Structure 1
Amino acid sequence: MTSRSTPVSAPICAIVALALAVAAGVGQAQAPVLNAGDDPRGALAAALTEQRFAAARAGRLETAAAQASAAADRTAQATAALAARIQQAEAGVAAGEARIALIERQRASLRDSLAVRQAPLVRLTAALQLMSRRPLGLSVVRPGSLRDMVHLRAVLESMLPAVRRQTAGLRAGILRARQLQAAVRQAQSGLRGDQARLAERRAALVGIETRQRLSSRAARGDANREADRALALAEEARDLTSLMGTLEQAGALRQRLAALPGPMLRPAQPGAARIEVSPVASPTAGLDYILPLAGTIVTGFGEASSGGGSRSRGITIAARSGAQVIAPAAGRVAFAGRYKGFGQIAIIEHDGGWTTLITDLAAVAPAVGDRVVQGAPLGVAGPGSPRVTIELRKNGAPVDVLAAISRR
């Protein structure tokens, strides 16, 4: 006689299947790990690097200001140091925003992972709760119920260690989510601190620049005439290239005149006089040069324009709204003001035939004829998503800005 085995009821089969799914780790996902190439991580690394450079530059400028004997030199170095501190604070804000974006991405991935891992556990818990509500008398009256319950208990006891391991991993994921939430709150607190420091330093710089303008207003007769001449040249120039060429010719002439020797006194003993030849600096001597602002390079040197026309003579940087722009090297301001189609621009003459052009600024702080030290505040980038273009020339020939940079 062949014995027939009583089929296990559907709820029991469902519970067993759910237990097996949980024990096998169905839908298990690891905690998210971002690649180094992801945008938030790369932005964070770039911001931290810029923050270190700005802090080091500010420290050197502050030391130079403390050691300067002349009041004008001390003020110039102190102003440049404050501009470096502003860029340091801007980099801190960018780092805070990148850090928050990085954590939020981890939280989003972790939420998806937990949702998948929780699903079988939730269904198993619901099934067990349903079985626990079944009256004991019903199990006695209903044929096969006791056998099903014994079978279910045996399955659950065998699967319980694996279920515990999976729920332990789930608990660890929930704990990680709480830690990420705490990290977000800490990053937001640090971001608010950096934003407050940035606002304080910008206000301090505005105060210094206002005092400088008031103190120099009485002695700007010649400078005003030179500024008027520069504006007249801008009106006459066909384009920005011709304006730079005219200013470069004027700057070269000014440097040659300044290099002419003064009148020589007759020596007491003409026969014993000797001619000493001073060493002449190489025309290809390098230039101590830094980027005038932080950001992402969107157009490189020599790249074709979007319209397929002429190639870029400089680089274009996508910067933060209102980012601080500084003088990339010491020099003399040859032009400062608005130019058709390029917003506010600044042209700086450096020693050795070097010239820098910076376009698309919202404001320019120095005036024509002002001498600026490296790192001196030039102005700020525009609102929204500004694109600032920097061109560097050597005796009128375009030079790759990135090749001349000395990041110290």
Structure 2
Amino acid sequence: MALAPGKRRGLWLAGTLLAALSSLPLLAQSETPAPTAPPAAAPAAVTPAAAEQPATVAAPTQSDLEAVESSLSLSQQRIDELKAEIAAMEGDRTQQNAALIAAAQRVKLAEIEVADVETRLSDLIVAELEVRGRLDGSQAEIANVLAALERISLNPPPALIVDPDDALGSARSAILIAAIVPQLRAKAESVTADLTELTRIKTAALAEEATLRANHAVLEEEQLRIATLIAARKQGIGVRTTQLAAEEQEAVALAARASTLKELVDSLSAQVSSVSEAAAAADAGLDPDLPVMTPEAIQLALANSARTEPAIPFGVARGYLTMPANGVNVLDYGASDGFGGINHGISLVTRAEAQVVAPADGWVLYKGPYLNYGQIVILNSGQGYTMLLAGLDAVTVDIGQFVQMGMPLGTMGSRTIGRTVTTNAGADQPTLYIELRQNNEPVDPTGWWATPTQSG
């Protein structure tokens, strides 16, 4: 029995829908690869790693800046505009400081947005694979039905008027076709819905990829801005004094002799007066009865980009410190260190090449490689407080330099350096280790960090 025209159209529609399954490219195989989402971090143990000590990284030179420029996708016109903008600040340390902190803040915001976009892209990939799995199953089912109907159409049962003896077979075929076609139509509607969802996913993915490219462009531009600003500030400082150069050599020698972080901080603290007279004055003027400052007064003091010493006493900075990098906290203060002791700091798993900024105002007591901690920075924030940042790949500040809260200190690498954090993210994730000490005794940093509203 031949199929009715309406049924033929239904089968043709189903076949057309199946043919369309191969017309949409798989999102995970599109031209712009979608990065995977940052894995959820789990509590982890910190163990010393026998990592090779990286060399101390100096501040950007002209050749370094040229290398940065060549690695960026920015237009030459935009690069020239940035250079002219920074050249206009020449000699204006206050304006340079403000520009550095603002650029670092934009980098942190862009890094957060990049991580969010990558997570959303990963979710879209998972959703696409689920839809394609359903479509693959529907394709197999419909293909089997179409094959059966095709066999019936090629060898239809005889008409009743020709062969009355085969009436039962003809009736059975008619009943079979009547039962199959509605189911086939429902399956076709399901396939249509899945194809529509697949198109929506692809459209959303393209929008997310555009957002990702825009944020990477921001990161590139701010990377060049920060490197150029740091180079300009270095030129503005001029030749380092013989005394300061000697102090830096002494700090490096102390680091080579110190066998523990505590010993290193002790040795460096003893040299604080020669590293910075302002730092020594801040420590000598410690007042156990700290003045009461309103939040407005604190924010006003921190907004002064012309300052050359801490804006506020460190003791009243609780709740105002800037988290030095974006990342996932994988190890809390007081957690087991894996050797029967407790951890004296916190550990953040960061993005590759994430920016690291100063968590507080302070003078750089030490920067460079130390034991198995990778590149480290130790800040003297006054009143007996020091802050240690370890695991960096590059450092852009100098010993004796005063840095303001939020100012770039350096960057992370593309893998774990020194102290290894074992998480379900693996040991290849860059990890920043942070310690807060008072009179060289570890202090729990919980509660010292600013909320997003305060730090924004």
Match of residue 401, structure 1, among 427, 441, 445: 445
Match of residue 305, structure 1, among 337, 353, 358: 337
Letter in 2 for 1:335: Y
1:336 paired residue number: 367
Q: Is the 8 A contact 2:324 2:357 kept in 1?
A: yes
Q: In 2, Cα distance between the equivalents of 1:320 and 1:210?
A: 25
1:351-408 Cα shifts (integer Å, max 9, x gaps): 3332110011111111111111111000000123322111111232212233321123
Match of residue 324, structure 2, among 273, 281, 292: 292
Q: TM-score, normalised by structure 1?
A: 0.72
Q: Is the 8 A contact 2:364 2:377 kept in 1?
A: yes
Structure 2 counterpart SS, 1:302 = coil
1:226-245 Cα shifts (integer Å, max 9, x gaps): 21221122122122221112
Q: In 1, Cα distance between the equivalents of 2:332 and 2:165?
A: 79
**2:394 matches 1:350:** no
**2:347 matches 1:316:** yes
Report the Cα offset of residue 89 of structure 1.
2.2
Percent of counterpart pairs with the same letter? 26
Structure 1 counterpart SS, 2:321 = coil
Report the Cα offset of residue 41 of structure 1.
9.2
Q: Is the 8 A contact 1:346 1:358 kept in 2?
A: yes
Structure 2 counterpart SS, 1:149 = helix
Match of residue 94, structure 1, among 115, 120, 129: 115
Q: Return closer, same or farther for 1:73/1:111 CA change in 2, 3 Å cut-off.
A: same
Q: In 2, Cα distance between the equivalents of 1:314 and 1:380?
A: 19
Provide the alpha-carbon RMSD of the alignment. Answer: 3.3
Letter in 2 for 1:315: I
* Equivalent pairs, count: 331
Select the structure with the greater relative contact order (CA < 8 A; seq sep ≥ 6): 2
Report the Cα offset of residue 186 of structure 1.
2.4
Q: Is the 8 A contact 2:364 2:379 kept in 1?
A: yes
Q: In 1, Cα distance between the equivalents of 2:156 and 2:187?
A: 30
Q: In 1, Cα distance between the equivalents of 2:244 and 2:250?
A: 10
Letter in 1 for 2:123: L
Q: Is the 8 A contact 1:301 1:313 kept in 2?
A: yes
2:242 paired residue number: 221
Give runs of aligned pairs for residues 8-407 of structure 1, distance below 5 A: 40=37, 71-135=92-156, 145-157=166-178, 160-251=181-272, 257=281, 280-281=290-291, 285-287=316-318, 288-306=320-338, 308-384=339-415, 385-407=429-451
Report the Cα offset of residue 155 of structure 1.
4.6
Report the Cα offset of residue 202 of structure 1.
0.6
Report the Cα offset of residue 285 of structure 1.
3.6
Q: Is the 8 A contact 2:391 2:432 kept in 1?
A: yes
Report the Cα offset of residue 217 of structure 1.
3.0
Report the Cα offset of residue 290 of structure 1.
2.0
Q: Is the 8 A contact 2:159 2:170 kept in 1?
A: no
Query: Where in structure 2 are there 5+ consecutive unaligned residues?
Result: 1-35, 41-88, 293-313, 416-428
Q: In 1, Cα distance between the equivalents of 2:159 and 2:449?
A: 85
Q: In 2, Cα distance between the equivalents of 1:284 and 1:189?
A: 45
Q: In 2, Cα distance between the equivalents of 1:174 and 1:139?
A: 42
Q: Is the 8 A contact 1:285 1:352 kept in 2?
A: no
Letter in 2 for 1:401: P
Report the Cα offset of residue 299 of structure 1.
2.1
Q: In 2, Cα distance between the equivalents of 1:76 and 1:220?
A: 22
Structure 2 counterpart SS, 1:402 = coil
Report the Cα offset of residue 122 of structure 1.
2.3
Q: TM-score, normalised by structure 2?
A: 0.65
Q: Return closer, same or farther for 1:144/1:350 CA change in 2, 3 Å cut-off.
A: farther
